[in-house]
Structure 1
Amino acid sequence: MFRTPAAVAGAVLVAAMVVLAVIGPPIWGEAAEHIDAGAILQGSSAAHPLGTDNLGRDLLARVLVAGRYSLLLALAAALIGATAGIVLGALPSVLPARPARLVTGAVNALVAFPGLLLAMFTAVVAGLGARGAVLGIGAAIAPGFARLTQTLAASVAGADYVSAARMLGVPRRRILARHVLPNIAEPLILHLTQALGGALLGLAGMSFLGLGVQPPSFDWGRLLFDGFGRIYVTPEVALGPALAVALAGIGFNLLGDALARGAARTSAPRTKAVAPESADPGEPEPGAVLDVRDLTVTFPGGVTPVRGVSLSAAPGEIVGLVGESGSGKSLTAAAIGGLVPYPGVVGHARLRLDGRDVAGLSRKELGTSLAMVFQDPMASLNPALKVGGQLAEVAVVHQGATRAEARARAVDRLGHVHLPEPGRQARRHPHELSGGMRQRAVIAMGLMGTPRLIIADEPTTALDVTVQRQILRLLREVTEETGSAVLFISHDIAVVGELCDRVVVMYAGRVVEELPADRLTDGAHPYTRALIASLPDMDTDRSLPLASIPGRQPAPAEVGDGCAFAPRCPLATDACAAGRPPLVEHGPAHRVACWEVTCTSTA
């Protein structure tokens, strides 16, 4: 985050101001208070570079000493404004509807009120002096924090974990402290850094107007007020404190901007190479579009929802990734596409796309060679923009096409996915299309480039059976025509068996079996067999209860060293709890991770 000159300048200025605040009073404090009747109201000289005041005190020393008081007052004002604003802005997310609307209205009114007038009014009510100025600037800062907090908290308040806490009767105060504020803390802290610069400038302005620090105390604003009457005769007496205020304000704002930009970059997943679980990850598969070895995704606290996943996809091949909810399928796809949310860390022994390391691909290269199709097409399309414009944006940004060329290609791609009247559909907003049409538009968006890999994350779950079959047929057509590989993620093993060439079964973040789709009924792992058995067909005896898998899948933090499926497995032995079975060959293009299957095959 400190790679730009502006960021470095901001960090240097802030560091200099902090050092000055620490060493200023001990070193120059005596000179700042020394009264010299023979040097009253002097201009710049060798003895007094910034001149003297009406008592003969050295103004340079006073500027250097005033740094501590100025920064402390700014910090106090910023903390007061941040505390009041955060509490006020977070209240609507936990209050009932009527009080929440009242608080929201109050925030809107405060934001619309000029900040300087609010600061002056508060300072006059609280009384002239440093305390009134600090309260006034804090009151002026609070509405901005309240609006930011309100916006951030609204996005968190609708989360499922907040709704669950409400249903469980968790007190509103506890919901606010444990569920809302911790999830919006980072942008608020960054805003506080920038607010320090604003508070410093605001307090200097209040003191300059005579509403802030009063004699005998002094800050930079007070020194500027005292020297302003002489600015036309000896301008250095006013320019000294003015320069200090400007440098400090610029420093805090530059630092806050650098921190905000750095946070935006770190919100992307951190990817690093890790030691593979196997002794040797092996040579890259020749000609593979996707080649992943020992992929892991880790979150703070040692939670690892994806553990050593290895898979590949050849040109024109559709690989199905199947498993229960929470098995790590979608997170695996997100890790491949670089979409793991912060603070997740992606590790791998090898991650190659079309023969190149993903870490070496630019955003533009990754965006044109990888396409993502998500479960909810409405969430993938901007409801405020027309469909054609969103598709055209891909060609403009990634391929440098003109607007006319991009729009023509968008219409062509919409027709390519069998949308009727593609030109007309391109001029519509997403809400004007049906669910199946929106999903086709999302697929068309992926085809705006030349994707070598298409990741389809449960793209048919929200669609009815008829439309689902059309989308599956479309994916097969796209694969055969373009030669791209498809990683198809689903919890529906019947759909996977129908569409895919090869199936990878995941459980608790690990691959437990990999086999050709046409041999899915020959699955060897007990989990694979249980998934198949739980799928009813026309021959299922309706007089019997539906087959199900007893128990539940362990949470990522609960996975031990043994086989994660052992507590639910009817074939489990002591060996299953003692160690995790490796993924070993079990026939042509068939691998399985199960001690019981391995022992049976060996015998």
Structure 2
Amino acid sequence: MRTPSPAGRRPAGRGPGGRSAGWLSVLRTPVGAGAGLLLGGVLVLAVIAPPVWGHQAAAINTDVLLEGASPSHWAGTDNLGRDLFLRVLVATRLSVGLALVATFIAVVAGLLLGTAAVVVGRRAARLVATVVDITVAFPGLLLALFFAVIFGVGTTGAVLAIGCAAAPGFARLTQTLVAGVVERDYVAAARIAGVGRVRLLLRHVLPNIAEPLVVNATIGAGSALLAFAALSFLGLGVQGASYDWGRLLGDGLDGIYVHPAAALAPGIAIVVAGLAFNLFGEAVATRIGQAATGQLTPLGRAARRTTADADRTSDEAAADLVLDVRDLTVTVPAADGPIRPVRGVGFRLGRGEAVGIVGESGSGKSLTVLAVAGLLDERVQVDAERLRFLGADLLSGTPRDHAHLLGSSFAMVFQDPMTSFNPALRVGGQLAEVSRQYGGLNRRDAAARAVDRLRAVRIPAAERRARQYPHEFSGGMRQRAMIGMGMMGSPALVVADEPTTALDVTVQRQVLRLIDSVRRSDAVATLLISHDVTVVGQVCDRVLVMYAGRIVEELPASELATGARHPYSRALVAAVPGMDSDTHRPLPVIPGRLPDPAALPPGCAFAPRCPLADERCHQQEPPVETDADGRRVACWHADAETGLGTQPAAERSAETAEAGERS
């Protein structure tokens, strides 16, 4: 499964210098440098304070009980004569350590809850999301007190309480980030290739959401520090001979009017440490936001491939048939009843043949292909009289049963150029993974194969480019690399869904030539989806015209411009300006718009926009008729002269309205 994209600026932490360069750049800002030094000082103090001052902080001196601040005791002494300033320093390890442990619990629990949609089934994920939605509505401190009662008084109970109280917020963030990644094309392609749920999560989802999660965890550590101090202050945290800042603050508060330094010292320590974590997290978040501004999100990644074995029937083998679709219907559940955006689509595709599908946005072109590839949501129902790929019945079994076949023989260039490469992985590694995972090649051979495929799709300096990230490729190079990924195996079918979107005309021509050369050299069947009837006419052998989820005409590509019989087909051709178009007249357009698939009009779906529509068109849907040459058309007035697309838009709209009134 494959795709293209525009060139983008290098994201923070990518390319030469790696991810660490992006994180170190945080320290170059004034706020980042200050927060980094402050946080570093707190962490160093947590390490060295107990062994250096632990013995002195525990020493009892009855001669200086409850003394105020002095040069000998900067924060005074407690009721046993122990130096409070040293005790505050020594308490840094326990206070910071317990906060980090609680943060770790919150992060782990939040990740498990937030990624449930990827790992478990839909019903279980929905239940988890409901629990998260309910718990995140309560204040964190209130949840912490609730869990503290459940887990009991003491250090362990307080750590678990704070960790569990912070988990829902982290889970909500993770859910949001995961939802933005799982819809990317590279994730969908990995699923169809049979990648396991856990590997999908670890390989394709978490690396692309790691930075905001780390930022949130850093800020969360500061919040956990404050929460733990609050529980200890209330007597629910650290107990016995141990002490942390919260407990020291509680003890010092009793004599705040006599010895204020006893309460101020741990209070200042809590504020300083909390600010260190929060400011550093905010500095990192700001740096990531600046790096993302002006940067084009890199392409996603495509699927891996596997070895396939298709059990062909004898008649299909004789016809060398790659794809056979008959009466394909896609049904989407909705509150007001099921919606059928694809209705009775059927076509055949032979080895080495190029077929184009044209139509306006929303006509069902991409949805048809996604249904064939098994990439639709599991709630969407796909029905067909026949749906065979290389002889294998795709209607039987589960998507996982067909993962090997589709992964090795079905390659797809997705429409969105921003989501087809995994931005966290190098291009060569993504290509090589296909051969390593399913082709049985070792690391070196797979890398060599990836470089060879990049050369085959005419990417210069292929060895150097294989070590780069997707954002370092231009749009055209990225598109060619996606085609190269499709060639890592031996595909029998390449589906190109708007493969020239967002590319200039020169690069478009190069990409189309490359697809055509791959088709001709390896006898690979090609299915090209496009709005541009000119492109389809140049590259394809046959053209399927879709409207409102239905194929309304099929004809040779060479006859599209002059031999189209359906009024909609002729209108599409006429709407494309040419070199001889009259610049003094408005550009031709098709009046009206596509009907809502949830409320299709009776009869022919194109009738409200067609100047030839009569009463029969508005009441009866025309059947698809096939002539002796295999051309198909679904129209009661096929071949009739319409004039649609040759008049100015205002005139055509008026005529269409009049025709509608007459009918």
The two structures have a TM-score, normalised by structure 2, of 0.52
Q: Output the amino acid matched with 1:552.
A: R
CA-CA distance at 1:305 after TM superposition: 0.8
2:564 alignment partner in structure 1: 523
Paired residues of 1:411 and 1:423 also in contact (CA < 8 A): yes
Secondary structure class of the residue paired with 1:380? coil
* Aligned partner of 1:119 among 119, 126, 147: 147
Q: Write the distance in 2 (CA, Å) between the matches of 1:116 and 1:466.
A: 61
How far apart in 1 are the matches of 2:639 and 2:594? 23
Q: Does 2:606 match 1:565? A: yes
1:377-396 residue pairs with structure 2 within 5 A? Answer: 377-396=417-436
Residue 322 in structure 1 maps to residue 370 in structure 2: no
In 2, distance between residues paired with 1:141 and 1:386? 37
The alpha carbon displacement at 1:287 in A equals: 1.8
Q: Secondary structure at the match of 1:371?
A: strand
Q: Separation in 2 of the partners of 1:79 and 1:139?
A: 20
Residue 290 (str. 1) matches residue 323 (str. 2)? yes
Change beyond 3 A, Cα 1:306–1:314: same
Q: Which moved more, 1:555-564 or 1:427-436?
A: 555-564
Of 587, 593, 609 in structure 2, the residue corresponding to residue 552 of structure 1 is 593
1:311 pairs with 2:351: no
Q: Does structure 1 conserve the Cα–Cα contact (< 8 Å) formed by 2:148 and 2:161?
A: no
Residue identity matched to 1:596: H
**2:384 paired with 1:348:** yes
Q: 1:151 aligns with which of 174, 178, 188?
A: 174
Please tell me whether residue 333 in structure 1 is matched to residue 366 in structure 2: no
The offset of 1:520, in angstroms, is 0.4
Which string of whole-angstrom CA distances, capped at 9 and with x for unpartnered residues, describes residues 192-242 of structure 1? xxxxxxxxxxxxxxxxxxx9xxxxxxxxxxxxxxxxxxxxxxxxxxxxxxx
- Which residue in the other structure is 1:245 paired with? none
Cα distance in 1 between the residues matched to 2:496 and 2:627: 28
Q: How does 1:55-204 map to 2 (within 5 A)?
A: 82-87=132-137, 119-120=147-148, 141-153=164-176
Q: Does 1:473 align with 2:501?
A: no
Contact 1:493 1:531 in 2 (8 A): yes
Q: 2:584 corresponds to which residue?
A: 543
Structure 1: 5+ residue stretches without partners: 1-77, 89-105, 126-132, 161-210, 212-282
Give the root-mean-square deviation of aligned CA atoms. 3.4
CA separation in 2, counterparts of 1:159 and 1:353?
26
2:590–2:609 CA contact under 8 A, matched in 1: yes
Q: Which residue of 1 aligns with 2:490?
A: 450
Shift of 1:578: 1.5
Aligned to 2:455: 415
Q: Deviations over 1:511-546 (max 9, x none)?
A: 000000000021000000000111110111111111
Equivalent position to 1:430, from 470, 474, 478: 470
Query: How far apart, CA to CA, are the structure 2 residues paired with 1:545 and 1:488?
Result: 30
Give 1:367's aligned amino acid. Answer: G
Q: 1:367 aligns with which of 400, 407, 422?
A: 407
Q: How far apart are 1:562 and its partner, in Å?
A: 1.5
Q: 1:117 to 1:422 in 2, by over 3 A?
A: farther
2:560 is aligned with 1:532: no
1:436 touches 1:463 (CA, 8 Å); kept in 2?
A: yes
Per-residue deviation, 1:572 = 0.7
Q: Distance in 1 between matches of 2:444 and 2:177?
A: 39
Q: Distance in 2 between matches of 1:453 and 1:366?
A: 9
- What is the deviation of 1:298? 0.9
Per-residue deviation at 1:599?
9.4
Q: Say whether the 8 Å CA contact 2:591–2:609 is kept in structure 1.
A: yes
What is residue 481 of structure 2 aligned with on the other side?
441
Larger CA deviation: 472-481 vs 292-301: 292-301
C-alpha contact (below 8 Å) 2:427/2:469 kept by paired residues: yes
Q: CA-to-partner distance for each residue in 1:418-451, whole Å, 9 max, x for gaps? A: 1111111111100111000000111111111110
Shift in CA distance, 581/316, structure 1 to aligned 2, threshold 3 Å: same
Q: Deviations over 1:152-185 (max 9, x none)?
A: 235669999xxxxxxxxxxxxxxxxxxxxxxxxx
Contact 1:458–1:490 (CA<8 Å) still a contact in 2? yes
**One-letter code of the match for 2:171?**
L
Gaps of 5+ in 2: 1-127, 184-235, 237-314, 642-663
Shift of 1:398: 2.1
The letter for the 1-side match of 2:409 is: S
- Structure 2: which amino acid aligns with 1:542? T
**2:417–2:501 Cα contact (<8 Å) kept:** no
- Give the direction of change, closer, same or farther, for the CA distance of 1:124–1:80 in structure 2 (3 Å limit): farther
CA distance in 2, matches of 1:81, 1:552: 43
2-structure distance, mates of 1:488, 1:515: 15
Contact 1:315 1:483 in 2 (8 A): yes
Deviations 1:303-356 (A, max 9, x none): 111111101111111100110000000111111111112321111111111222
Per-residue CA deviations over 1:236-295 (Å, capped at 9, x if unaligned) read xxxxxxxxxxxxxxxxxxxxxxxxxxxxxxxxxxxxxxxxxxxxxxx8693211111111
Q: Which moved more, 1:573-582 or 1:542-551?
A: 573-582
* Greater mean alpha carbon deviation, residues 332-341 or residues 504-513: 332-341
Deviations 1:25-59 (A, max 9, x none): xxxxxxxxxxxxxxxxxxxxxxxxxxxxxxxxxxx
1:258-273 to 2 correspondences below 5 Å:
none
In the alignment, the residues of structure 2 paired with residue 545 and residue 467 of structure 1 have an alpha-carbon distance, to the nearest angstrom, of: 29
Deviation by residue 1:382-427 (Cα, 9 ceiling, x = unmatched)? 1111000000111122222221221111111111111111111111
Give the whole-Å Cα distance in 2 for the aligned partners of 1:405 and 1:156: 35
In structure 2, what residue type is equivalent to 1:298?
T
| 1:468-516 per-position Cα deviation (integer Å, ceiling 9, x unaligned) | 0000000000000111101100111111111111100000100000000
Q: Report the 3-state secondary structure (helix = DSSP H, G, I; strand = E; otherwise coil) of the residue aligned with 1:362.
A: helix
The Cα of 1:598 is off from its aligned counterpart by 8.2
Q: Does the Cα contact within 8 Å between 1:563 and 1:577 map onto a contact in 2?
A: yes
Q: Deviations over 1:121-166 (max 9, x none)?
A: 79889xxxxxxx9x99998645323222223235669999xxxxxx
1-side partners of 2:539 and 2:513: how far apart? 8
Please give the alpha-carbon distance, in whole angstroms, between the structure 2 residues aligned to 1:494 and 1:370.
26
Partners of 1:377 and 1:350 lie apart in 2 by: 32
- Contact 2:331/2:382 (8 A) holds in 1: yes
**Distance across 1 between alignment mates of 2:177 and 2:445:** 39
Contact map agreement 1:413 1:448 (CA 8 A) in 2: yes
Distance (whole Å) between structure 1 residues aligned to residue 136 and residue 514 of structure 2: 49
User: Does the Cα contact within 8 Å between 1:453 and 1:487 map onto a contact in 2?
Assistant: yes
Partner of residue 226, structure 1:
none
Report % sequence identity: 51
Alpha-carbon contact 1:316-1:479 (below 8 Å) kept: yes
Compute the displacement of 1:117 (Å).
Answer: 8.4
The DSSP-based 3-state class of the residue aligned with 1:293 is: strand
Offset of residue 462 of structure 1: 1.7
CA-to-aligned-CA distance 1:530-572 (integer Å, 9 cap, x gap): 0011111011111111110111101210124421111101111
- Residues 95-120 of structure 1: per-residue CA shift (max 9 Å, x gap): xxxxxxxxxxx98xx8xx9x988822
How many aligned positions are there? 373
Q: Which has the higher contact order (CA 8 A, sep 6+)?
A: 2
In the alignment, structure 1 residue 585 sits paired with structure 2 residue 626: yes
- Preserved CA contact (<8 Å) 1:504 1:513: yes
The letter for the 2-side match of 1:500 is C
- Which residue is 1:129 aligned to? none
> What amino acid is aligned across from residue 381 of structure 1 in structure 2?
F
Output the amino acid matched with 1:418. R
Aligned counterparts of 1:498 and 1:157: Cα–Cα separation in 2: 37
**1:537 corresponds to which letter in structure 2?**
G
In the alignment, residue 85 of structure 1 is paired with which amino acid? T
